[in-house]
Amino acid sequence: MSTAPSPEPVPTAAASAPDLGARLDDLRREYAALQARGLSLDLTRGKPSAEQLDLSDALLALPGEGVHTAEGGTDTRNYGGLAGLPELRRIFAELLGVPVEQLLAQGNASLTLMYDTVVQALLFGVPGSERPWSREEQVTFICPVPGYDRHFAVCEELGIRMVTVPMTPDGPDAEAVAALVADDPSIKGLWTVPTYGNPDGSVVSEAVARRLVSMPTAAPDFRIFWDNAYAVHHLTEHEAKSANAIDLAAEAGNPDRVLMFASTSKITFAGSGVAFFASSPANVSWFTKHLAIRSIGPDKVNHLRHAMFFGDADGVRAHMRKHREILAPKFSAVTSILESRLGGAGVAAWTDPDGGYFVSVDVVPGTASRVVTLAKEAGIALTPAGATFPYGRDPQDRNIRLAPSMPPLEEVQVAMDGVATCILLAAAEAATA
């Protein structure tokens, strides 16, 4: 029962898997055998594999001795150029569908850009704010769930209250979001990963995007943190293109509503890529004004290195197809093993994403943490249960995020077979509890 991410609970074990209890002893033996293999496998985080990183190894010798001059004669080695190198910004402006003047190229992590943006809002407010967010009695962000644990950690660290809405196959539940923001002026932000959502793989549809950028908000300075981490990270021929939220927001008369983030972390080197910030002219100038106090400019040599490596936007697209060749078999392994081991058992629903880095699995409610523990004790590290929810608390204890990118294909297969055993055993335990 491979499905788009299900906003509805899957059938409970009691309702749908009455015979699982009878299989408990078999499953325990199967699990004991799994444990006996002494595995050490890791599906915890969305890290690229060494094979993927190898695709960008030309970067290790770029720009090349004597090569340091960018267009306009800029010496990339020296200070300056706060907005980042134009030739690299142009490539990603095309890919992200934003004007190059509205796109900044910065350091090695979009997470840092997102954190710093929230901090700037707390310290200074954003265009349209009545006061710095830190002077509000309360600041609330809407967190679609399941979602990205690092988004939630930023809010938690910075004292921002989180309220959840469900994800749908078309992105965050826009009606739920609209209802919340209409009445509550403390709601200043919404997180979303619009293209191949983390972990559910959903893509924000144009209709949902239009609703989000045009809905009335009680706060005059509400912002959507549009974390376009996987904008070009396709796993199939069906290359999704998320709605152009910045343009749509401008059309809707809310030009400053969307803050877009992206990076090359999962295009070139995870730790040594380039991160991007895009938004309205007012937001870009707000961000840059404060950036100028803390930076004399980003690492332009790394920008030049990346611009030379890609050449142009088509260079990025061609490069991403090589990633796809490596990643697609791993994702197929995950979903086909889940299908063959669990299909029809009524104990799980999972996503079959067209891109991104994750498979989201909903298991029998109440058993996700048990599955993760069982896996751990069999040498298979999974992202902690609850990680896809604020404060690490999944109210139904049912969602598990699988990240198959890092291990070699054979390890993904072995690990997933083990995970299937753990899901079945936890369900059987629950059915007989």
- Examine residue 86 and tell whether it contacts its own copies (CB under 8 A): no
- Distance separating the N- and C-terminal Cα atoms of the chain: 25
DSSP 7: S
Distances (CA, A) of 102 to 22, 213, 239, 246: 61, 18, 25, 10
CA distance linking residue 288 with residue 196, whole number of Å:
29
- Examine residue 72 and tell whether it contacts its own copies (CB under 8 A): no
Looking at 72-80, 87-95, 329-337, 371-379, which segment touches its own copies (CB under 8 A)?
Answer: 72-80
- Examine residue 28 and tell whether it contacts its own copies (CB under 8 A): no
Which position among 100, 109, 176, 326 is part of the footprint of its own copies (CB under 8 A)?
A: 109
Give bridge partners of residue 263 from the DSSP assignment: 275
User: Are 399 and 146 in contact, with CB atoms under 8 Å apart?
Assistant: yes
- Examine residue 111 and tell whether it contacts its own copies (CB under 8 A): yes
Q: Give the residue with the Cβ less far from its own copies, 23 or 47.
A: 47
- Examine residue 212 and tell whether it contacts its own copies (CB under 8 A): no
Give bridge partners of residue 226 from the DSSP assignment: 192, 260
Q: Give the residue with the Cβ less far from its own copies, 118 or 361.
A: 118
Q: Give the residue with the Cβ less far from its own copies, 117 or 205.
A: 117
Which residue reads 């932000």 in tokens?
189
- Examine residue 122 and tell whether it contacts its own copies (CB under 8 A): yes
CA distance linking residue 135 with residue 204, whole number of Å:
32
Q: Which among 227, 223, 218 has a CA at the least distance from the CA of 265?
A: 227
Residue 326, burial from CB neighbour count under 10 angstroms (0-12, 13-18, 19+): middle
- Examine residue 356 and tell whether it contacts its own copies (CB under 8 A): no
Looking at 42-50, 210-218, 231-239, 361-369, which segment touches its own copies (CB under 8 A)?
Answer: 42-50
Q: Residues with Cβ < 8 Å from 57, sequence gap 6 or more?
A: none
Q: Which among 376, 320, 304, 329 has a CA at the least distance from the CA of 43?
A: 376
Which residue reads 């380039």 in tokens?
274
- How are beta strands 258-263 and 223-227 bridged, if at all? parallel
**Residue 33 Cβ, how far from its own copies at the closest point, in Å?**
31
Which position among 2, 11, 42, 68 is part of the footprint of its own copies (CB under 8 A)?
A: 68
Q: Residues touching its own copies: how many (CB under 8 A)?
A: 57
Residue at 287: amino acid letter = F
**Residue 299 Cβ, how far from its own copies at the closest point, in Å?**
5
- Examine residue 137 and tell whether it contacts its own copies (CB under 8 A): no
Specify the DSSP element, H or E, that contains 401: strand 399-402
- Examine residue 293 and tell whether it contacts its own copies (CB under 8 A): yes
Which position among 75, 175, 183, 325 is part of the footprint of its own copies (CB under 8 A)?
A: 75
Q: Give the residue with the Cβ less far from its own copies, 182 or 292.
A: 292
- Examine residue 294 and tell whether it contacts its own copies (CB under 8 A): yes
- Examine residue 67 and tell whether it contacts its own copies (CB under 8 A): yes
**Residue 80 Cβ, how far from its own copies at the closest point, in Å?**
7
Looking at 32-40, 54-62, 196-204, 206-214, which segment touches its own copies (CB under 8 A)?
Answer: 54-62
Q: Exposed e or buried b for every residue in 414-431, given b needs 16+ CB within 10 A?
A: bbbbbbbbbbbbbbbbbb
What residues numbered 150-209 form the site for its own copies, per CB under 8 A?
A: 150, 153-154, 157-158
Residues in contact with its own copies by the rule CB under 8 A: 45, 47-48, 50, 53, 56-68, 75-81, 107-109, 111-112, 115-116, 119, 122-123, 134, 150, 153-154, 157-158, 265, 269-272, 290, 293-302
